[in-house]
């Protein structure tokens, strides 16, 4: 008996130019383009196994061991339906292929980090779901094509289908066919940039990105300014900075865009607060760290960014990471569970768990 099963995994991505706002909530079409870095360490990944079997009664999905309802017309159902349709197209063209597109699927997904804590679990989750179904159905793996489907699960998921530096082009067409992800540069282009994740809290976030965005689109005037007059130029400038490996410009734009995203959240009625006092204290620390570097004739050494939660992501060239971790641990002494993939601290002070 042939078993039709495949496993794929996808990492989290953290945006430097934030996606916030939908112009079409069903197709998940954004009000602005966005750009992110896909993290390539093993700490923040979703791994998903999909299996098609004629004996299954219906499509089912388990996330971290708990069954999630696949609601008719919901995002999970849409992604599964679209992937089955791509398989059906192949089967129609090639009659020798087994007709598995008609079989129900069982999907099992796991995150190796806290779910829905502002660590982009939906991004890696939907990217891994689409990648595992693409492997199960042996679809041609054009990541931009698959990103059109992942986007309909969770907008930011479309960017996790690529590694490295990735742009999600908002597109213009009402059917969403030009709203997909493209790679700006592979990871190897700029391997020196690293991301330090400071988990300020791993509680579930208070306002989901879906309801938060909707409220912002309905009530924020600042969002309209951002969409028209800010993001297009930032997308151009940060892409250029990435291609030129210009960390100073990359860092400046990343911090400005994080600040504006949280300003837009605050400009929402009622206002949304994603950062807390610890998040703001980390901003102050990075601002001071950069100020001293610039005062001494140098350039920016680190960039903070925050998604829809209190956790900080700090981008920095590798040579600065040790110094930044030492600062964080000094000012936030409870930060004692640093994961040390480079062995920067072997045997000294900070514990690498």
Residue whose structure tokens are 């954004």: 30
Beta carbons within 10 angstroms of residue 73's beta carbon = 8
Q: Minimum Å distance from CB 5 to ligand PMV?
A: 28
**Do the beta carbons of residue 106 and residue 56 sit within 8 Å?**
yes
DSSP designation for 174: T
Q: Minimum Å distance from CB 49 to ligand PMV?
A: 23
Please report whether residue 209 would count as binding ligand PMV according to CB under 6 A.
Answer: yes
For 125, the 3-state DSSP assignment is helix
- Residues that bind ligand PMV (rule: CB under 6 A) add up to a total of 15
Please report whether residue 267 would count as binding ligand PMV according to CB under 6 A.
Answer: no
Omega before residue 90 within 30° of 0, cis = no
**Do the beta carbons of residue 196 and residue 325 sit within 8 Å?**
yes
For 48, the 3-state DSSP assignment is strand
Q: Minimum Å distance from CB 206 to ligand PMV?
A: 14
Q: Minimum Å distance from CB 188 to ligand PMV?
A: 23
- Which is closer to ligand PMV, CB of 28 or CB of 52? 28
Among 155, 163, 171, 176, binds ligand PMV (CB under 6 A): 155
- Which is closer to ligand PMV, CB of 61 or CB of 231? 231
Lookup: tokens for 161: 């289908």
**Do the beta carbons of residue 84 and residue 70 sit within 8 Å?**
no
Beta carbons within 10 angstroms of residue 226's beta carbon = 24
Q: Tell me which stretch binds ligand PMV (CB under 6 A): 2-10, 66-74, 132-140, 150-158.
A: 150-158
Please report whether residue 156 would count as binding ligand PMV according to CB under 6 A.
Answer: yes
Going from the C-alpha of 120 to that of each of 84, 263, 290, the distances in angstroms are 26, 20, 27
Residues 6+ apart with CB under 8 A from 350: 325, 326, 329, 336, 338, 340
**Full strand arrangement of the beta sheet holding 181-185:** 13-17, 34-38, 164-168, 181-185
Footprint of ligand PMV on 271-300 (CB under 6 A): none
- Which is closer to ligand PMV, CB of 144 or CB of 210? 210
Q: Tell me which stretch binds ligand PMV (CB under 6 A): 77-85, 118-126, 191-199, 244-252.
A: 118-126
Binding mask 16-55 for ligand PMV (x = CB under 6 A): --xxx-------------x---------------------
Q: Tell me which stretch binds ligand PMV (CB under 6 A): 45-53, 119-127, 244-252, 289-297.
A: 119-127
Among 31, 48, 111, 122, binds ligand PMV (CB under 6 A): 122
Residues near ligand PMV (CB under 6 A): 15, 18-20, 34, 120, 122-123, 154-156, 209-210, 307-308
């Amino acid at each position: 008996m042939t078993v039709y099963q495949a496993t794929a995994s996808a990492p989290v991505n953290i945006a430097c130019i934030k996606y916030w706002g939908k112009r079409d909530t069903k197709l998940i079409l954004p009000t602005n383009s966005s750009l992110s870095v896909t993290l390539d360490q093993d700490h923040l990944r979703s791994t998903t196994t999909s299996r098609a079997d004629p004996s299954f009664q219906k499509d089912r999905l388990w996330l971290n061991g708990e069954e999630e309802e696949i609601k008719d017309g919901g995002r999970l159902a849409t992604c599964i339906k679209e992937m089955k349709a791509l398989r059906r197209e192949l089967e129609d063209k090639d009659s020798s292929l087994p007709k598995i597109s008609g079989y129900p699927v069982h999907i099992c997904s796991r995150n190796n980090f806290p779910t829905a804590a502002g660590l982009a679990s939906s991004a890696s989750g939907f990217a891994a779901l689409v990648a595992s179904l693409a492997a199960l159905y042996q679809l041609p793996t054009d990541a931009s094509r698959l990103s059109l489907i992942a986007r309909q699960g969770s907008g930011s998921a479309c960017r996790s289908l690529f590694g490295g530096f990735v742009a999600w082009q908002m597109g213009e067409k009402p059917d969403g066919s030009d709203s997909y992800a493209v790679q700006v540069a592979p990871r190897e282009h700029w391997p020196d940039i690293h991301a330090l994740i400071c988990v300020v809290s791993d509680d579930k976030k208070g306002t989901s990105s879906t309801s938060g965005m909707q409220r912002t689109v309905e009530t924020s005037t600042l969002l309209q300014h951002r969409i028209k007059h800010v993001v297009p130029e930032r997308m151009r400038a940060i892409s250029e900075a990435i291609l030129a490996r210009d960390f100073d410009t990359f860092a400046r734009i990343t911090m400005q865009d994080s600040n504006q995203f949280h300003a837009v959240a605050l400009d929402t009625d009622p206002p949304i607060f994603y950062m807390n006092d610890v998040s703001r204290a980390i901003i102050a620390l990075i601002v001071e760290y950069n100020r001293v570097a610039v005062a001494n004739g140098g350039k920016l050494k680190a960039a903070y960014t925050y998604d829809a939660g209190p956790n900080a992501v700090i981008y920095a060239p590798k040579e600065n990471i040790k110094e930044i971790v030492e600062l964080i641990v000094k000012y936030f002494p409870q930060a004692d569970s640093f994961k040390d993939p480079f062995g920067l601290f072997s045997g000294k002070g900070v514990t690498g768990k």
